[in-house]
């Protein structure tokens, strides 16, 4: 573990937004993109674990955590590009979870020359057709209704049961410290509901789904066995269509394995990064 107490922090002016970032360590860049129910602190265990060998970067997406953003159109891949340019990074290993995974995939397709290792953790895929028959359809409606009514605590708890507890587990079967941290991160997002809803995320153009065979970066896929069916399906699609992609299933965890099982996650990630040859 590296001492990251002296990490470089600040705000980057990126495409009209002020994105809060943290950088620690030296070596080949390793950039972490967080999930849509979290902020950069979902990577706390990775930030310290990998800063002894890499220049580790994490930041809050626009509207999340400490980052702020104006209303209007925004590009996820464009923000990644802007942040890397701000930090003078030409090539990087890129790790993204959920929303961050979709961003990482879209960015890699848009700028393949900048990504020499790609890790997707329970990601979405832009342009992927809706499979239909979502077993969680009623839960999503309940979450939306609670949020619309301003009952953010209820909406947050329902989201935790989907993303943190996962398939086949009750809240009391999940590590309480982990669940509390995930709860605090997701609940905080509702305090910026007006700002978040004013961000007009533009779809990737072209989307990733038709182009998966063109991903050239070495790719690792990580998914928890208790993650939602749509995510499981997306990971299976990626494993089948990205050339040479490696899939790892972490057991008894849901959507945020880097937080719930940090030692196992870091071992899998470290082994993958160790198998890559950093450019000189």
Q: What does the domain layout of the chain look like in residue ranges?
A: 8-127+199-274
Q: What ranges make up the beta strands (E) of 149-227?
A: 199-201, 219-224
Other C-beta atoms lying within 10 Å of the C-beta of residue 5: 7
Give pLDDT, residue 58.
Answer: 98
Half-sphere exposure of 227 (CA within 13 A, CB side): 24
Mean pLDDT by 10 residues, the chain (280 residues): 86 96 97 97 97 97 95 95 98 98 98 98 95 81 94 96 96 97 96 90 95 98 96 97 98 98 98 78
CB 218 within 8 A of CB 180: no
pLDDT for 19-56, tens place per residue? Answer: 999 999 999 999 999 999 999 999 999 999 999 999 99
Give pLDDT, residue 112.
Answer: 98
- CA distances to 25, 64, 120, 162, 264 from 222, rounded to whole Å, are 24, 23, 6, 18, 11
CB 136 within 8 A of CB 163: no
pLDDT for 172-213, tens place per residue? Answer: 999 999 999 999 999 999 998 889 999 999 999 999 999 999
Distance (Å, whole) CA 143 – CA 152 = 9
Is the domain 8-127+199-274 a CATH 3.40.50.1820 member? Answer: yes
User: Quick one: how many helices (H) and strands (E) in the chain?
Assistant: 10, 10
């Amino acid at each position: 573990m590296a001492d990251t107490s002296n990490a470089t922090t600040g705000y980057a002016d990126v495409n009209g937004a002020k994105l809060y970032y943290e950088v620690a360590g030296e070596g080949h860049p390793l950039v972490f993109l967080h999930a849509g129910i979290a902020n950069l602190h979902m990577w706390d265990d990775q930030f310290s674990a990998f800063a002894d060998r890499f220049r580790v970067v994490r930041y809050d997406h626009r509207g999340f955590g400490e980052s702020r953003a104006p209303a209007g159109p925004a590009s996820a891949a464009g923000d990644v590009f802007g942040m890397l340019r701000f930090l003078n990074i030409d090539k990087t290993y890129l790790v993204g979870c959920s929303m961050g995974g979709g961003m990482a995939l879209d960015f890699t397709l848009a700028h393949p020359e900048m990504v020499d290792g790609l890790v997707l953790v329970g990601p979405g895929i832009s342009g992927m057709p809706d499979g239909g028959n979502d077993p969680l359809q009623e839960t999503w409606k309940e979450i939306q209704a609670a949020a619309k009514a301003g009952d953010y605590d209820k909406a947050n708890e329902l989201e935790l049961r989907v993303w943190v507890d996962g398939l086949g587990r009750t809240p009391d079967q999940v590590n309480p410290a982990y669940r509390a941290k995930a709860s605090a991160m997701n609940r905080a997002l509702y305090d910026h509901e007006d700002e978040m809803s004013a961000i007009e995320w533009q779809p990737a153009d072209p989307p990733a789904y038709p182009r998966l065979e063109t991903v050239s970066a070495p790719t690792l896929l990580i998914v928890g066995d208790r993650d939602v069916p749509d995510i499981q399906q997306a990971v299976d699609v990626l494993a089948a269509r990205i050339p040479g992609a490696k899939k790892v299933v972490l057991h008894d965890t849901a959507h945020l394995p880097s937080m719930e099982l940090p030692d196992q996650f870091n071992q899998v990630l470290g082994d993958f990064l160790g198998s890559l040859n950093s450019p000189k």
